[in-house]
Amino acid sequence: MLYDVKSPATSALDGMSKAAGTYGSMMKDIPANRDPGTTAGGALNAGMGGATVGLGLANMGTGFAAVGMSNPVGIGAMAALGIASYLLS
């Protein structure tokens, strides 16, 4: 073979691959793409979910109603359990 002729399609694909790699590495450093960690809103959401689960269990006629989980203290305990599970996850 006298001349080495590179395929234009291969050159184009190589360039696109390099550009995609560069773009991907740049997108990691944007603050909006970072994990926010635990937030007060997330803890509030988990607490409301725990309280809702506590009310649901108390209204289903389970043993939760028999031990007083349908009162505000029981609902608060379930909300605290939800918040704790969020903060420890």
Segment 35-62 mean pLDDT: 82
Q: Give the chain's domain count.
A: 1
Decide if pLDDT at 1 tops 60.
no
- Retrieve residue 24's tokens: 């991907």
Which residues make Cβ contacts (< 8 Å) with residue 35, sequence separation at least 6? none
Average pLDDT, the chain: 79
Range of the domain at 33: 8-88
67 domain residue, yes or no: yes
Instruction: Please give the model's pTM, rounded to 2 decimal places.
Output: 0.52
Q: Is residue 79 part of a domain?
A: yes
**Percent of the chain at pLDDT above 90?**
8
d(CA 13, CA 53): 53
Amino acid 52: pLDDT: 85
* Predicted local distance difference test score (pLDDT) of residue 69: 62
Q: Rounded CA gap, 67 and 59, in Å?
A: 13
pLDDT at 64: 60
H or E segment and range at residue 50? helix 40-59
